[in-house]
């Protein structure tokens, strides 16, 4: 079955630590996205990529970094510069005429 796999499901970060969230898709979609969701809030766009080796900042990119070396993969690194990283992180993918498909999310907390 085609879909998006996010791992891990739960992640804990220590002070000063960088952590990387994985997102893999087998839908052959060109575009991939990372969103952040805080309790009771909608989704805010962190980064998105429309094609391999290219990505753009979303509305809240500070303290985050991404790479897109393969079409299937779009990992997100939460750096120590992100002072309030506790949130639910969602990865999505699409093509221009397809609905956005979402993974099951990664919940990041501070130790």
Partner 1 sequence: KQEVTQIPAALSVPEGENLVLNCSFTDSAIYNLQWFRQDPGKGLTSLLLIQSSQREQTSGRLNASLDKSSGRSTLYIAASQPGDSATYLCAGATSGTYKYIFGTGTRLKVLA
The minimum distance between CB 70 and partner 1, in angstroms, equals 18
For residue 2 the two structure tokens come to: 């085609």
Give the span between the Cα atoms of 30 and 13, in whole angstroms.
Answer: 30
Restricted to residues 54-73, the positions that interact with partner 1 (CB under 8 A) are 56, 58
Of 17 and 56, which CB lies nearer to partner 1 in the complex structure? 56
69/95 with CB nearer partner 1? 95
User: Which residue from 19, 76, 78, 92 is in contact with partner 1, where contact means CB under 8 A?
Assistant: 92
| Tokens matching residue 15 | 């002070």
Full DSSP string of 69-108: SBTTB--EEE-TT-S---EEEEEEEE-TTS--EE---EEE
Nearer to partner 1, 19 or 92 (CB): 92
| Cα separation, 36 vs 42, whole angstroms | 9
Q: Does 102 bind partner 1 (CB under 8 A)?
A: yes
Point out which residues bind partner 1 (CB under 8 A).
6, 31, 33, 35, 40-45, 48, 50, 56, 58, 88, 90, 92, 94, 96-105, 107
């Amino acid at each position: 079955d085609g879909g998006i796999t996010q791992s891990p499901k739960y992640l804990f970060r220590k002070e000063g630590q960088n952590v990387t969230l994985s997102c893999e898709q087998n839908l052959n979609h060109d575009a991939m996205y990372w969103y952040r969701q805080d309790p009771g809030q909608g989704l805010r766009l962190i980064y998105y990529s429309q094609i391999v080796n290219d990505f753009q900042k979303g509305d809240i990119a500070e303290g985050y970094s991404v790479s897109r070396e393969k079409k299937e993969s779009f990992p997100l690194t939460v750096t120590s510069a992100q002072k309030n990283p506790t949130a639910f992180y969602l990865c999505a993918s699409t093509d221009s005429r397809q609905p956005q498909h979402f993974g099951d999310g990664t919940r990041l907390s501070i130790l």
